[in-house]
Each structure stands twice: as C-alpha cells, then as structure tokens.
Amino acid sequence: MTSSELWTSATADRYDAEESEMSSTAVLGPTLAFLAELAGEGRALEFAIGTGRVGVPLREHGVPVVGIELSEHMAAVLRRKTDEDVLPVAIGDMATTVVPGEFTLVYLVYNTITNLLTQDEQVECFRNAARHLAPGGRFVIELGVPPLRFLPPGQVAVPFDVSEGHLGFDTFDLVEQILVSHHVTRDGGDGRYRRDSSRHRYAWPAELDLMARIAGLELEQRVADWDGAPFTQDSAKHISVWRKPA
C-alpha cells in the first residue's frame, strides 16, 4: 500500500457530479484524441482510473483500456458504467500493481501522480509504467505546475477557485513539497457547506524528467494542454510524454 489517501464511498458517489466540467466534450474531446493517437493499434493502461471519466470514453473511442485503481469505491462507480470484460480494473496502487500483458500507452491524468506523497513512490510509479510498456510505448502524465509564483513571503495559501458554490485553496509545505488542497463546497440547497481536504506531493517538470530517466524512459514531448499548445514559463499545467526506447 502506498501513501495515497483512499477515496471513501461518499466521495466516490459524488465525484462525477462535482467534476462534470472535466467530463464535458470540450475537455474530453482533445484528451481522448491525444491519447488515442499515442495508443495507436495497441492497448492503454490507466493508472488511478477512478470512476472512468477518461477510461470509459477512451474504450468507446476504440482503444482497449485496462485500469488500476486503489479505491474500491471509485472502481465500483466505474463498474456501473461498463462491465469487467469490457474494461478490466485491478484494485491496487499505481506504483506497484502489475497487470498482464504489454501496452503501447500508460497514462495518468488530472494531477493524480501527486496522490503519491513521497518521491520514492513517484519514482516507483514511473518504473511501473516502464514495466508495462512495450518497446516504443509512451507514458503520459497531466500535471499542474506548482503555483509557487503566487505565494509571496508571509502568504500561506493560494486560492484556485472562488465561486458561488465552492471555495478552493492550497497551502504549502515548501520543505517536503507537500500541498494540502482545501475545499469548502455548498452541500445541497439548505445553505450548508462541506469542508474537505487532501494531501499531495507536487513535483516540477524537471524532477519528473529525472524520474523518467531512472525508469529508462526518454522525454518525447511536453505541451501546455491536450490541444498541444506550447509549454512556456507561464503555463499552468503540462502534458508530458516519455517514450520507452525500442
């Protein structure tokens, strides 16, 4: 078991509703096109597949998909959408769980590598990806750039969402590279709010490149979004692609 925090049944049941924007055509269209092109005629493996936000439509897009998921509750929500023989899911952590066969694509989206709270575990995640890849296969990560430029001396939090139904902000431990994501969410129509938080280990693109080298992978591409916009010093996130040598 890794240090990743487990999703509860209640959190899993409301996940899709709270992340409806991330499931929109505007978001998923470019994501699926990007991943499907890299998968080619082969199979794809999704680390931390969750409720299948990406994996299910990618399978419907014609790419055979297998998933690994730590939370049985999240996997249970996915299972309501598609059968095991259509999209198999292994319950386990993404750093050490091994599934049969080789894949042309392993991918990890929406900042999820930060759920691994130590550098060693993140390195093992890269090694696990390399273990599953066929020669010439790719490992893809979608990850935000740590927003430390918004953290002047004396400030302890960076807001990322201030809206009518939700307040979100991150606090940082700069020594351990741990951020805590805090959420205050309107819960129903009676004026009540629900407070949640989760811990994450942030990492810079250069640190990920070193993890990839340790795992025997080579950086092939880094862009700012799924549409392929150039990655610059002002980019809020990156899509990085590492290749296993043929």
DSSP letters along 18-83, please? HTTGGGSHHHHHHHHHHHHHHHTTS-EEEET-TT-TTHHHHHHTT--EEEEES-HHHHHHHHTTS-
Q: Give 152's pLDDT tier (boundaries 50, 70, 90).
A: confident
Strands (E), the chain: 44-47, 65-69, 89-91, 103-108, 133-144, 157-162, 166-173, 178-186, 193-201, 218-223, 237-243
pTM of the complete model:
0.94
Strands 218-223 and 103-108: unpaired
Q: Give 153's pLDDT tier (boundaries 50, 70, 90).
A: confident
The predicted pLDDT at position 23 comes to 83
Q: Give 14's pLDDT tier (boundaries 50, 70, 90).
A: confident
Q: Give 181's pLDDT tier (boundaries 50, 70, 90).
A: very high
Amino acid at 8: T
pLDDT in tens, 101-137: 999 999 999 999 999 999 999 999 999 999 999 999 9
pLDDT in tens, 50-75: 999 999 999 999 999 999 999 999 99
Q: Give 1's pLDDT tier (boundaries 50, 70, 90).
A: low
CA distance 74 to 49: 8
The predicted pLDDT at position 2 comes to 77
CB neighbour class for 222 (10 Å; exposed up to 12, middle 13-18, buried from 19): middle
Give buried/exposed letters for 80-108 (b at 16+ CB in 10 A, else e): ebbeeeebebeeebbbebeeeeebbbbbb
Query: In this predicted model, which residue has the larger pLDDT, 34 or 193?
Result: 34
The predicted pLDDT at position 187 comes to 81
CB 109 within 8 A of CB 142: yes
The predicted pLDDT at position 156 comes to 84
Q: What is the mean pLDDT of the chain?
A: 94
How much of the chain exceeds pLDDT 70, in percent? 99
The predicted pLDDT at position 192 comes to 87
Query: In this predicted model, which residue has the larger pLDDT, 4 or 87?
Result: 87
CA distance 4 to 23: 23
The predicted pLDDT at position 16 comes to 86
Going by C-beta distance under 8 Å and a sequence separation of 6 or more, which residues neighbour residue 208? 113, 126, 141, 143, 240
